[in-house]
Amino acid sequence: MDPQLRDEHRQLLEKNQKQLLTYGTSGFREESKYLKFVGWRVGIFIGQMSKNTTLKLGVMITASHNKIIDNGFKIVPPKGGMLSIEEEQNIEIFYKSEEIVQSETQYDTGIVYVGRDTRPSSESLCQIVLDGIKEAGAIGINLGIVTTPQCAFLVYATNLGLVNQIESNQQFFVEYFCNIFLQLIKNPIKGTLVIDGAEGVGGIWIKYFQEKLANVLTIQRINYGDEPHLLNDGCGSEFVQKEKKLPKNFVYDPTYRYASLDGDADRLVYYYFEQNKLQIIEGDRFAILFAMYIKQQLQKKPDLKLSIGIIQTAYANSASTKYITENLGIYAKYAPTGVKYLHRVAHEFDIGIYFEANGHGAVIYKDHVLSQLKEFELFELELFLKLSNQAVGDAIINILMTEFLLNKLEITIQDWLLIYQDYPALSTKLYVKNKQIIKTNYEETTLIEPIDLKQKVDEIMSKYDKSYRTCIRPSGTENVVRIHSEGPQVEIVKEIDFRINEMLKSYMEI
C-alpha cells in the first residue's frame, strides 16, 4: 500500500481516538485531509461489489451542507436508494482492514460511476476512488461535477435502460425531468422563483433547468456557484433553515417565491419574506402538499386501492402529524433521523412520501403503481409520480413537483403556510464528550438510557401536560446532543428547553 495513504490513515485513527470512521447517516464523512485512505478503500470495495453484478453502481463524493474543508463518500446501489444494513457493515469491516482483499467475484469486471461536488478536495478524492476501482479490476467512469441525486439517478436510469452511454450524457438528467414537467404544465406558472444554490453544484445545474423551462417557469438564480470557495457560507438550505436568516444576495420582491438548496442539492426549503419576517416552509409541508394531491387524485377512483404512507422523524412538528392523520386520513409513521431510514420505511407502502423537517425527502412508489394508474386513467398522477426522482430525494426535482402543485392547486406560498399552524418548537444542541451514552427508542421520540437520565427527564416533563414533548438524541454528525421541545405555548417550550439543557450540562461530560 502507498505509504502516504497509510500515514494519513494513522492520523485519522489518532484524531478519532482509535475509533474508526463509521458509514453513518450519510456515508463516510470527515475532514477531507483524512479521507484519501478511505477513498481508496471505498474504491476497492465498490469495484469488487460491481464485479458481482451486471448492473452499474455509483459513488458520490460530497459532504453536502458541511464545511468546505470536509468531504465524504456515499455509495449508490444499482436502483439508487441506500445500501442495506448488511452492506454498510461489510464496507466498515472492509475499510478497517488495511490489506487488499481479493474476494471471489462472479464476473471479470464491473462498472462504477463516480460523481463529485464542487469542493476543492473532491477532484483528487475522485481520482483516488477511481484508482481503487481499477485496483479491484473494475471500470470507473468519472461523471464529473454532478448533484448527489443526479449521480444516483444516472446509475438508476442506466440500469433500467432509460439511457445508454451516460458517461457523455449527464444532461440526460435535465432532459428527462424537464420533458415530464413540460407535459404536466399547461400554462406558464405565475411569478418568479428565486433559487439559492448554496454556491454549490445544485446552483450550477439549475442553470440548465432555467434555460429549458424558460417558457413556463421563471427562475432567478442566486449563489449559483460562481464563488465556490463560499460553499454553504451564508447561503443554502442549512443556513436558512437552521439560522432562520435570509441567504446572501437575497433580492426582495413581495411577489417572489424563494427556495434554497444545500451543498449537494438533496435538501430543499421554500420561504418568503413578509412584514420583515422570514417564513420558512420546511419538509413536513412538502410531504403534506404532495400527499394532498395524491390523495385527491386517488379519491377519483375508489376501486383503485393503493396504500399511502407519510414517513417523518421525531423533528416533524406534531401539528403536521395531526393534520396528516386527522385531516388527510393518511397513515403517518416515524423513522430514525437520516434519509436511509426514512427511505427504507417508505418502501412499505405502495406510495411512500418521506420528508425530514430539514428538507430531505421524496415520493417513492412500487413497480406496479404506474401501470395501475394508467389502467385507471389517472394520467396526470402517473406523470407526477414519474417526475419524482426514484433514486433518491432530489431538491431540484422536488422544486419542479412543488411548482406544478402550487400552480395546479392554486395555492400561494402564503396559503401553503396556512394549511395548518405549527406548534411552537425549539431545537438546541449541547456540545458533549460522551454523546454515545444516550440511547433512544427506534423512533427517537423517547430517551431510554441511561435510566437515571431518563428519570430526570421524566421528572422535568411531569410538570407539564401531555401536549408538551421533548426529544433528546445524540447527533450522528457532530459531538453534540440535540434537544427538541415542542408544545402549545412558546414560553413553556422555552422553559422546558432551558431546564433540559441545564440538567444535561450537569449530567453529561462537557
When the beta carbons of 66 and 320 are compared against Mg ion, the nearer one is 66
- Residue 443 sits in the site that holds ligand 16G (CB under 6 A): no
Residue 360 contact partner, candidates Mg ion, ligand 16G, none, CB within 5 to 8 A by sort of partner: ligand 16G
Q: Is 356 in the site for Mg ion (CB under 5 A)?
A: no
The minimum distance between CB 230 and ligand 16G, in angstroms, equals 20
Find which of Mg ion, ligand 16G, none residue 264 binds, CB within 5 to 8 Å per kind. Mg ion
Instruction: Report the amino acid identity of residue 468.
Output: Y
In the numeric block, which cell numbers belong to residue 332?
403517518
Whether 467 contacts 488, CB under 8 Å: yes
Tell me how long the chain is: 510
Which lies closer to Mg ion via its Cβ, residue 292 or residue 363?
363
Catalytic residue list contains 64: yes
- Sign of the CA dihedral running 38, 39, 40, 44: positive
Q: Is 339 in the site for ligand 16G (CB under 6 A)?
A: yes
Do the beta carbons of residue 284 and residue 328 sit within 8 Å?
A: no
Nearest residue to 500 (alpha-carbon basis) of 443, 456, 465: 456
| CA Rg value for the chain | 23
When CB distances are held under 5 to 8 angstroms depending on the partner's kind, the choice from ligand 16G, Mg ion, none that residue 482 binds is ligand 16G
Nearest approach, Cβ of residue 63 and ligand 16G (Å): 9
Indicate which single residue of 150, 241, 337, 407 sits in contact with ligand 16G (rule: CB under 6 A). Answer: 337
Among 117, 356, 403, 444, binds ligand 16G (CB under 6 A): 356
Residue 358 binds to ligand 16G (criterion: CB under 6 A): yes
158 binds Mg ion (CB under 5 A): no
Which does residue 262 touch among Mg ion, ligand 16G, none (CB within 5 to 8 A, set by kind)?
Mg ion
As measured in angstroms, the least distance from the Cβ of 381 to ligand 16G is: 27
Cell representation of residue 75:
455509495
Least distance between ligand 16G and beta carbon 340 (Å): 6
CA-wise closest residue to 79 among 56, 61, 99 = 56
By CB under 5 A, the count of residues binding Mg ion is 5
The Cα–Cα gap between 507 and 90 comes to 35
The helix or strand, by DSSP H or E, that contains position 194, with its residue range, turns out to be: strand 192-196
Vertex 114: Cα angle to 180 and 24 (nearest 5): 95
Do β-strands 192-196 and 218-222 pair in parallel, antiparallel, or remain unpaired? parallel
Q: Report d(CA 110, CA 148) in Å as an integer.
A: 21
Candidates 26, 64, 122, 260; catalytic one: 64
Partner from Mg ion, ligand 16G, none contacting 159, C-beta within 5 to 8 A by type: none
Contacts with Mg ion in 29-88 (CB under 5 A)?
64
Instruction: Work out how close the CB of 116 gets to Mg ion at its nearest, in angstroms, rounded to a whole number.
Output: 14
Residue of 264, 284, 382, 497 interacting with Mg ion (CB under 5 A): 264
Closest distance of CB 22 from Mg ion, Å: 18
C-alpha cell of residue 430:
449541547
Residue 444 binds which entry of ligand 16G, Mg ion, none, with Cβ cut-offs from 5 to 8 Å by kind? Answer: none
Q: What is the nearest approach in angstroms of ligand 16G to the Cβ of residue 267?
A: 8
Q: Put the strands of the sheet holding 277-281 in their side by side order.
A: 218-222, 192-196, 257-261, 268-274, 277-281
Any contact of residue 394 with Mg ion (CB under 5 A)?
no
- The CB-nearest residue to Mg ion is 64
343 lines the binding site for ligand 16G (CB under 6 A)? no
- Please name every residue paired with 354 in a beta bridge, in sequence order, or none if there are none: 311, 362
Stretch that binds ligand 16G, among 114-122, 199-207, 372-380, 476-484 (CB under 6 A): 476-484
Q: Give the Cβ contact number of residue 478 at 10 Å.
A: 12
Cell of 442: 427506534
* Count of residues that interact with ligand 16G, criterion CB under 6 A: 14
Lay out the sheet containing 111-116: strands in order across: 28-31, 70-76, 57-61, 111-116, 139-145
By CB under 6 A, what part of segment 204-223 binds ligand 16G? none
The one among 196, 266, 282, 284 contacting Mg ion by CB under 5 A:
266
Give backbone dihedrals phi and psi of 493, rounded to 5 degrees, phi first.
-60, -40
Segment near ligand 16G (CB under 6 A); pick from 171-179, 353-361, 362-370, 374-382 = 353-361
Binding ligand 16G (rule: CB under 6 A), the pick from 191, 228, 234, 476 is: 476
Could you tell me the three cell numbers for 438? 444516550
Given 22, 25, 90, 412, the residue binding ligand 16G (CB under 6 A): 25
By the rule CB under 6 A, 482 interacts with ligand 16G: yes
Q: How far is the CB of 297 from ligand 16G (least distance, A)?
A: 28
In the complex, minimum distance from the CB of residue 139 to ligand 16G, in angstroms, rounded to a whole number: 27
**Identified binder of Mg ion from the candidate list 8, 262, 356, 403, rule CB under 5 A:** 262
HEC-encoded secondary structure of 18-77: CCCCCCEECEEEEEHHHCHHHHHHHHHHHHHHHCCCCCCEEEEECCCCCCCCEEEEEEEC
**Torsions phi, psi of 301, nearest 5?**
-130, 80
CB 21 within 8 A of CB 38: yes
Binding-site ranges for Mg ion (CB under 5 A) = 64, 262, 264, 266-267
Binding-site ranges for ligand 16G (CB under 6 A) = 25-26, 337-340, 356, 358, 360, 475-478, 482
Catalytic residues: 64
